[in-house]
Amino acid sequence: MTTGKPKINKLYAISSQNSKYVFSLPLKNVIKIGKRKYEIKLKHDEKFGTYILWKNRKYPVEVVRSRQNKYEILFNDISYTFTIETPFGYKRLKVLSKQKGKKEKEFIKAPMPGKIVDVLVREGSQVLTGEPVAVLEAMKMQNEIQSPVSGTVIKVSARPNTNVVKDDILVEIKVEA
């Protein structure tokens, strides 16, 4: 059961914006762009830290967070979040999301007028039900705005130090189980 090679011949990396990247296994150190193939290497040295060597150029990279099959990667100063799925897992995910009555997107709105003092998530952040996404200052109190769902943040409209009115959309979340 736990022995031998798993019969997976490809993996899908799905971004927070739902772009799907397919990689055949075993994973090659090569990226294909159109018809051309380019070598890619993950390296580390004292001066630059961890970096990716691509087309003769070094790019800074860091793994910010990983949780089960979700990874937050900071590459060339931009954060990306991916979910890695096997073909079976991906198929199952699509079936689940087609379930009737299932809300795909959640819009978190300001419950009252006030000032956003803190934005706690960014595009791609994973949130769990109850996790705070922003802090709203109103009536001389600071209020945590919590996410009512679990999922991935797909858009952050709230900006720190700006005023909002009731029902202003703060954060958009793609609902996941």
Partner 1 sequence: MKKIKRILIANRGEIAVRIMKTARKMGIKTIAIKTAVEPSAMYLSYADIVYDNTEDESEIPVFLNIDRIIEIAKKTDADAIHPGYGFLAENAYFADKCLDNGIIFIGPSPDSIYKIGNKTIARKIALANKIPMAMGSQDNIANEEEAVKIAEKIGYPVIIKAASGGGGRGMRIVRNPEDMEKLFIIASREAEKAFNDPSVFIEKYIENPKHIEFQILGDKKGNIIHLGERECSIQRKHQKLLEEAPSCALDEKLREEMGMMAVKLASAAGYYSAGTVEFLLDSDRNFYFMEMNTRIQVEHPVTEEITGIDLIEQQIRIAAGEELKIKQSDVKINGWAIECRINAEDVQAGFAPDPGKIEKLSLPDEDYIRVDTGVTEGSVIVPSYDSMIAKLIVKGHDRRDALKKCKLALDKVWIKGVKTTLPFFRMLVRHPKFIDGSFTTSFIDELNQYYYNSEYEEMIAAWLATKLFIEENLSEDSIKLDFSESREINPWLLNKRLSQF
92: enclosing H helix or E strand: helix 87-97
Identify the residue among 111, 123, 150, 175 touching partner 1 (CB under 8 A).
123
Q: Could you tell me which stretch among 42-50, 93-101, 102-110, 138-146 binds partner 1 (CB under 8 A)?
A: 42-50
Using CB under 8 A as the binding rule, whether residue 65 contacts partner 1 is answered as yes
Residues in binding contact with partner 1, number by CB under 8 A: 64
What track of x and - describes contact with partner 1 for positions 145 through 164 (by CB under 8 A)?
Answer: -----------x-xxxxxx-
| Separation CA 136–CA 114 (nearest Å) | 6
Q: Cα torsion at 21, 25, 31, 35 (round to 10°)?
A: -90
Closest CA relative to residue 112, chosen from 135, 80, 136, 88: 136
Rounded to a whole number of angstroms, the minimum distance from the CB of residue 104 to partner 1 is: 21
**CA angle (142, 144, 148) in 5-degree steps:** 160
Using CB under 8 A as the binding rule, whether residue 78 contacts partner 1 is answered as yes
Q: Which is nearer to partner 1, 7 or 103 (CB)?
A: 7
